[in-house]
Amino acid sequence: MKFASTLLALPAVATAAFYPPEMYQRGEVHQMILNMKNEQWNAMEVAGLLNSSQYPSWKTWDQLDKKVKNDCLRCRDGLAIAEQGNANYTFRCNNMDAYDFLNHADMVASGRGRDGGLGFGGKSVQK
């Protein structure tokens, strides 16, 4: 197993060694990696893979068991199962019940919204 993972890592190491130190110092390699990441995210967004509304918030999820909506999603034997047989709605847990779920689209009113990062964090204070 270690041998296989080492072989998989070799192309990344070989590619990284290909660039001269000046490209790193000028930030060019960083920018290339950032561009690749953003191209991938853009393609995923166009394909609808990053649309968080495909996972409904509990308040708008009609098929959600009423007991869960009115109480909580119980953790039983290490699993909290919102929809039986659906891996996307089965969560590992350890004695912790879920009382609500909001997708990023319902949390974030504006901004890109694709990564959900705008819904978290601190507040800017003007001086």
- What are the residue ranges spanned by the domains of the chain? 1-50, 54-108
pLDDT bucket at 11, cuts 50 / 70 / 90:
low
What is the pTM for the complete model shown?
Answer: 0.52
**What is the Cα 118 distance to its own chain's centre?**
13
pLDDT bucket at 120, cuts 50 / 70 / 90:
low
Residue 21 predicted with pLDDT over 80: yes
How many other C-beta atoms can be found within 10 angstroms of the C-beta atom of residue 14? 9
pLDDT bucket at 19, cuts 50 / 70 / 90:
very high
Residues 55 and 102: their CA atoms lie apart, in Å, by 9
Residue 122 predicted with pLDDT over 50: no
Read off the pLDDT of each residue in 96-112 and give the average, rounded to a whole number: 77
